[in-house]
Structure 1
Amino acid sequence: MPWLEEVEKTLSDTFWNVELVQNLETSSVNSPYLCVFWAASCRESSDSLFNEGSKFSNLITTMGDVHHIFPKQYLIDNGINDKAKYNQVANFTYLDTPTNIAVGKDEPGKYFTKVFEQCKTGEYHIGNLKSEDAIKKNLADNCVPLEIKDWTFKDYEKFLTERRKLMAKKIRAYYEKL
């Protein structure tokens, strides 16, 4: 398949590390790059954010809620009013409804910290992750930077940049396994 070889020549490190990351800078839920990211998450059998055993693929196909990792209202309340900004695809994930309700409109630093604290208290209000190692793996699987627990709206752009890079790495790994 010579045409495939020609196409693959364009998939240089620059494509994966720069162009793909830039293409993830969109608010279109119909973005082919977002769709491939979701496909990678399904193929990898990733657990949904905060929930061990609740597969991303189940949420995307049947009963998941699209969730803004930095909640939309939180961003608006803090001066990020541009729909194209708060609806960036790098700010989206799928959550089950109870988890989405538990997170609510809290800032990420607050609700991610609660998830870490649950490991110590044994009282689970957001998801079901029972150890810090499980949380770290879950964040990595969902391409969420670990530092998010320390971030506020002032770090939103940094979050988007870092998450896009992680999403691009996941897409690349998915492609290379095809």
Structure 2
Amino acid sequence: MIRRLETNQIGPIHYIYLFTQIKNQDKGFLSDPTSVQSMLEMHGDIHHIFPKNYLQKNGVTDKKDYNQIANYAMVQKEINIKISDKSPKDYLELLSISKEDEQSLQNFKDNAVPTELFDMDMNDYQEFLKLRRQLMATKIKDYYYSL
């Protein structure tokens, strides 16, 4: 399962992950109270958790590397604009998202985002992808067994 998430192609595995979020009534990344389902219905933004421009400025120029499915999350347009091209640890601080806040931690869980993101920058991108793929695969597996 994790191996199938090592792609930049939006396809069946990505849609299964989104179905999982819809079934669980998950909120979009950093987007409480808007659900993933609402965002999909209203054409919410697919956000790069490590912003594409941030990665490009730091030498990740291959589309296959920055457009990894594990780097995508549904987010409200207003939040996506605020995030801009900052590192995760910088935009989380800007948005006052704290790892001590239960609601923020639940949002990370809903979106299969590792809490290590609070301290991550460019040097941690590959580790982030690895951790997120594991969380996404677990979420998909749990969804499958709930059917």
Q: Are residues 1:93 and 2:73 paired?
A: yes
Moved over 4 A (4+): none
- The percentage of aligned residue pairs carrying the same residue is 33
Higher helix share: 1
1:37 aligns with 2:17: yes
For residue 153 of structure 1, the aligned residue among 113, 122, 125 is 122
How much is the aligned-residue C-alpha RMSD, in angstroms? Answer: 1.3
Q: Deviations over 1:53-109 (max 9, x none)?
A: 200111122230111000001001001111100000000011111111111111111
TM-score, normalised to structure 2's length? 0.95
Instruction: State which structure, 1 or 2, has the greater radius of gyration over its C-alpha atoms.
Output: 1
Provide Cα deviations, 1:115-149, integer angstroms capped at 9, x if missing partner: 3x367xxxxxxxxxxx7000001001101111101
Per-residue Cα deviation, 1:133-170 (whole angstroms, up to 9, x for no partner): 00001001101111101111110000000000000000
Map of 2:109 onto structure 1: 140
Alignment gaps of 5+ in structure 1 = 1-19, 120-130
Q: Identify which of 127, 138, 141 aligns with 1:169.
A: 138
- How many residues end up aligned between the 2 structures? 146
**Partners of 2:97 and 2:48 in 1: CA distance:** 22
Match of 2:104, SS?
Answer: helix
- Gapped regions of structure 2 (runs ≥ 5): none
Residue 126 of structure 1: aligned partner = none
TM-score, with normalisation over the residues of structure 1? 0.79
In 2, the alpha carbon distance for the partners of 1:41 and 1:90 equals 14
CA distance in 2, matches of 1:79, 1:51: 29
* Counterpart code for 2:3: Q
